[in-house]
Amino acid sequence: MTAAKSRNPRPSGKRRRLSAAERAAARRRRMRIVAWVTAGVLVVGGAIGFAIQRSQTNARALRALGVQTFANQGQDHLQPGQAYTAYNSTPPTSGPHDPSPAPCGISTDPISNTVQVHDLEHGVVMVQYRPGLDPSQVTALQTLGRSYSSHVIMAPYPNLPTPVAASAWTKLMRLDRADVGKLRGFIERFRQHGPEAGIPCPSSG
């Protein structure tokens, strides 16, 4: 019995000492892990920083244009001809709307609130003016409108609170004149940015 035990000694429980090569390999593995973690942190941190910077830049641009943002009132469709008067801005920027949008381009007739909201949903920008605006300013607005092939509508708006206004989905810019520079900036920023952006404008013919 004693001899058998001597032939099969119990493990001592001590770990084998790593060779110099194995220790070096372990250090390299640890360094690679640290490098990967550091790179990941830098990438995530950079992305967050870029997003914050872009958000701040966007906010500054909106302030420079004087753009207001209104709460989204939804995208429900009304019955044809059904009225809705509880919009949270004038002109409206979202909410229940007529099932048919207006054609894009230049309109010499006012477009009802319920119809124009459907256009905004499709990413159209409405540029509207109070009737009686100086004819030269109306011409400037129409020239601006014709410079876009789609998704911009120019139209009069009776009783508009300011001489000119531009609206997009949840966005509104009010102006005391036809400031083409600001209007183009608004259009470039919000055209085709509605919840159903990209749907073609209906034909006017």
Distance CA 107, CA 124 (A): 14
Residue 35: band (very low, low, confident or very high) from pLDDT cuts 50, 70, 90: confident
In tens, the pLDDT along 153-185 reads 999 999 999 999 999 999 999 999 999 999 999
Residues 28 and 97 in one domain: no
Are 76 and 37 within one domain? no
pLDDT attached to residue 45: 77
For 82-128, write each residue's pLDDT tens digit.
Answer: 999 999 999 999 999 999 999 999 999 999 999 999 999 999 999 99
The rounded mean pLDDT for the chain is 88
Cα 73 to Cα 70, 84, 158: the distances in Å are 9, 12, 23
Give the chain's domain count.
Answer: 2
Other Cβ atoms closer than 10 A to 152 = 23
Residues 111 and 153 in one domain: yes
The reply to whether 170 falls in a domain is yes
Residues whose CB falls within 8 Å of the CB of residue 152, separated by 6 or more in sequence, listed in order: 104, 105, 124, 125, 127, 145, 187, 191
State yes or no: pLDDT of 24 exceeds 70.
yes
> Whole-angstrom Cα distance, residue 77 to residue 53?
37
Q: What is the pLDDT of residue 34?
A: 87
- Identify the domain containing residue 42 by its residue range: 19-65
